[in-house]
Structure formats: C-alpha cells, structure tokens
Structure 1
Amino acid sequence: MNELKFIKRTLKEDKNRNAESRDFFDLIVDGKSLFDQFVDAESDLASSFGFYDDSNLNIQIVDEFLKIQKSELESERTMLFVCRECGDIGCGAITVEIEKKENSYIWKNFAWDNGYEEILKNDFIDFQMLEFNKTEYESELNTLKKNWLQQRTEIKNKQILL
C-alpha cells in the first residue's frame, strides 16, 4: 500500500509568463512529491488541492477523491493537476481514474486531458498504479476537508455579523 500526505506549497510569480503566485497542497506519496514527479518546474500546472480561493470548490475536490461526489468531467476522471491560473480542464490537466474498493482506493491510468478531446494512447502517463489504505486515505483527505469546512463557517459567521 502507498502512503498519502499533503504539504502546502507555493509556486512563485513568474512575470515572464504572466503567471501569478499560487498556493496549493502537494501530494506526497511514499515520501515523494507527485508534483515533482509529474510537473516540470516551468509548467503552468498546480495540484487541484487547495488551489481554489472558494472553500466550497476545495471541498468538492476532496469529495471527488473520496468518491462521495461524481467528477465534473464526462469521462468521470478526476483532475489531479490543473492550470495554475484558472484551474480549468480546457487548459489541460493531469487526470486520474479513482476506484474505491472495500479496503482501499486505487489511482490508475494517469493521463493528460483537456476535457473535450478523447484521451489517446500517447496521452497516458507512464506511472505506476497507486493503492492507498482506505482508513488512512480518508483520514488525510478529511483533515483537508475539515479545514475548509471550518474556513467556510468562519466566512459565513463574518457575513452574519456584517
């Protein structure tokens, strides 16, 4: 079984490419950054975890990875790394198939995807299947989700006070 952890990461502003600074949570699998394994430092991609300023969208991403909520993509794949500027599938994203089993979650068939063209054989990324212990995986993802739920509650409370 693989082990999944999250660490906060920031991509620095790049004025040459008109790219703003971007915070997100990197996925650490078995002690190694998936961002570093999948994404070139010059790329315009960021992890979909913690990417959005809206806590509701961040919660939705977690729920997709937990298979609580259906993917927004027709292919039913889940966006792992998205455009660092807008998070839109149309700019291109690295997606993954997630399968929920009785005691585990499996990530397989990583691919480059844009949401409007069929994924072709050469779009698939040569990367091993990952399998996570269900209890540990859900605990890690629910910790992220809890933080965003708390953030959402704090924002609502501030709005009520205004």
Structure 2
Amino acid sequence: MAAEYATFGLAPATRAGQVHTDGDFQVHRDFMDFVVDGRPLLFRLSDLDAVSPLASDVPPAIFTAQVRGLLLEADAPLPGGRYVIYGCPECADLACGAVTAVILRDGDDFVWRDFAWQTSELADLELNGYHGIGPYRFPGAAYREALATLLDGAPRPRRRVLLIGTRVALLARLAAALRTIGIGADITEDARGVPADELRTYGAVAFGRTVTEARRASVRRAFADAGVDVAHVDGMGPVVPVLVAQIEHALDRGPAERRRLTRLTATAAAADVEVTSPCRVRLTAYRLDRLHRTHVHEVFDGVLEPGGHRVALDAGAVKGEAYVVARTPGSVLVTAVTRAPGRG
C-alpha cells in the first residue's frame, strides 16, 4: 500500500492515575502524543491504555535517545526497523504489549508503516497487524522540526498539588494516594506563608469543602502574586478516589479539543457521558451511607462510539450523597449525582 502524505505533530497528553478501593493503583503519566492529520494517533486505538515513549518522567538521556530514534539517528530497538510507538504505562515492558511500526526514510520524507501489536521480539503482521492504520508519509522538514522542539529543554509539567483544608486525616489519606500514583502532594491550611518559588512548582491547588471563601481568595491571591497559573479544584466530597479523579482532571494539560471524554452528568436514574472517538469507558459510582462509609459500584465498562450515551444507574448504587467517575484510557471526569428536590 502506498503511503499518502499526512501532517505530523505532537501534543501533550495524560494517562490519568487511579487508586482502587482494594489498594491497587495505576500510575499517572504525562507524555507527548503523536498527532496525525490533526488527530491524536492514540485515538485510533479504541481500547488501549498506553503512553508514547516521549513521557515526561523518562530520564533525560533516555528521552533524548527516544527522540533520536524517531529521527532515525539511532538503530531501531526491534528487528525489522521497528520502533515502539505506544507501550505499557506501568513498566514499558514489551511482554505487556506495545504498538510498534516500521519507520524509514524515503528521500527527505519519513514513513511510518506496518503498525502491529507486539509482545515479543518479532511482529506477526498477519495475526496482530493494525491494517486500518497507516501507512503515513510525513514531510521531512516538518517532522524533524516537531521532534527537535523536544530537545530544547522545554519545561516539564508540574505534577504537584497543594491541598488546603482542615480535615487533616482525610488530607493525609489523599496525599498518600496521590503520591502512590506519582503525583506530589503537600498539605497546608493557607498559602500565604509559602515562598513564591515553591508555589510555582504546583500544577493544582485543591480546597476542602470546609475551607471558607475568604481563605480560598487568599490562596488564589498568593498564586497570582507568584505569577503562576494553577488549576483550582473544589473538593466534591470526602471520598479519596473521587478527589484523586478531580485532581487528575485538573492536571490534564492536553488541549481540551483533543480529549476523548468531554461531558459527564448524573441523576439518580442515569449517567450521561459524551466521547469524541471510539474508546473504552468505565463508570464507577461512589456513595456515602449515613455512617459516612464509602460504597463502590462498577456500573459500566465497555467501548462507546463517538457521541452522547445514557447509562442507567441502579438506585441503590447512588442513594444519598453519591458521585460518578468516568474514565477512558486517557482522561477522567467526575460529577455529583443530582436528584429532584425532596428525593433521597
């Protein structure tokens, strides 16, 4: 198959971390995704939890080597001139599976072809090839320019969050959960005494429900005086996985127009979710009982086509104070369950 010309670009993307109720977790990863003809290449893979080799937490020498490889300035890491395009976000082990492709030069152009799912040194195109993806021919100048920008020492994302609140025990559990998935977290009652240089290291500030508006304004003013644009999170409820999801959403630095998950609302009867490309969506309901114990219900897990979808909710799963978290392989949204006045 002849390779047709396509545009090549890069865009920030996030693989949101998650803390499970059984103590298991998945790590938070920031990376640069490949944008082909204006659309993230990862979006063509509907049920893939993966990151590109251009991740922000990769050591600088290895990151540079990955870029040099994509520029064909280094030998291919796999037989047949194959390069890893997307790999396991937890360990990057080929045995976990990876999307690979042949990258070659054709005159001044770069060609990506023969995409495949690979779990060993050799790829089986007949059995595991992505026959609907590629081949792509990228004009050499634009391709080199896009990748060369990654070698200029651009600032890395601020993966720290400042937690403001008075419920010390809850904040301590939240901070521990965030650190487990790779997000730095610090706790304070106010930010007025925090040096400006330290405030500039945070990507988000999260407020507990008991924090007064005056204190919130003081914190916002401190960040503004430090000259840092930081995301603000108003904690929905005292449920650690819900708060983690809120913070993950706030830290997502990818362009809004390139996110898969764009809308989530929920009532006692149903959750409404909207996606922009075919992808796996998982909906989880969290509710607090009268003793403030958390109950978790997995309400949906499947691949959805682009557009809006309504998922029925069991009344018992969202009784009382409840929240719904929606996750795709690359993004997360959270909503409180709303209900008609006078109905519990």
C-alpha distance in 1 between matches for 2:123 and 2:13: 31
C-alpha distance in 1 between matches for 2:58 and 2:123: 30
Judge conservation of contact 1:47–1:81 (CA < 8 Å) in 2: yes
- Structure 1: state its 5+ residue gaps: 152-162
- CA RMSD in angstroms, aligned pairs only: 2.0
**Residues 94-119 of structure 1, C-alpha deviations (whole Å, 9 max, x = no match):** 00001112220000000001234552
1:37 and 2:75 aligned? no
Match of 1:27 in 2: 34
Between 46-55 and 59-68, report the one with greater CA deviation: 46-55
Q: Which runs of 4+ in 1 moved over 6 A?
A: none
Match of 2:142 in 1: 136
C-alpha distance in 1 between matches for 2:15 and 2:31: 8
Judge conservation of contact 1:44–1:85 (CA < 8 Å) in 2: no
Match of 2:309 in 1: none
TM-score (norm 1): 0.82
* 3-state SS in 1 of match to 2:153: helix
Judge conservation of contact 1:98–1:105 (CA < 8 Å) in 2: yes
If each structure's helix is expressed as a fraction of its own residues, which one has the higher value? 1
Residues 8-157 of structure 1: pairs in structure 2 closer than 5 A: 8-16=12-20, 18-40=25-47, 43-50=48-55, 52-116=57-121, 118-126=123-131, 127-147=133-153
1:4 and 2:8 aligned? yes
C-alpha distance in 1 between matches for 2:14 and 2:143: 23
Judge conservation of contact 1:25–1:49 (CA < 8 Å) in 2: yes
Judge conservation of contact 1:90–1:116 (CA < 8 Å) in 2: no
With over 3 angstroms needed to count, the CA separation of the structure-2 counterparts of 1:39 and 1:94, relative to structure 1, is farther
**Residues 45-98 of structure 1, C-alpha deviations (whole Å, 9 max, x = no match):** 111122542011111111111111002223430000000011121211000001
With over 3 angstroms needed to count, the CA separation of the structure-2 counterparts of 1:117 and 1:138, relative to structure 1, is closer
If each structure's strand is expressed as a fraction of its own residues, which one has the higher value? 2
Q: Aligned pairs, how many?
A: 148
**Residues 106-141 of structure 1, C-alpha deviations (whole Å, 9 max, x = no match):** 000000012345525121002121000011101111
Between 131-140 and 10-19, report the one with greater CA deviation: 10-19
C-alpha distance in 2 between matches for 1:131 and 1:13: 34
Q: Determine which structure has more spread, i.e. the larger CA radius of gyration.
A: 2
> Letter of the aligned partner of 1:89 in structure 2?
L
Judge conservation of contact 1:71–1:78 (CA < 8 Å) in 2: yes
Give how far 1:39 is off.
4.8
C-alpha distance in 1 between matches for 2:55 and 2:123: 28
With over 3 angstroms needed to count, the CA separation of the structure-2 counterparts of 1:82 and 1:51, relative to structure 1, is farther
Q: Which has the higher contact order (CA 8 A, sep 6+)?
A: 1
- Structure 2: state its 5+ residue gaps: 157-344
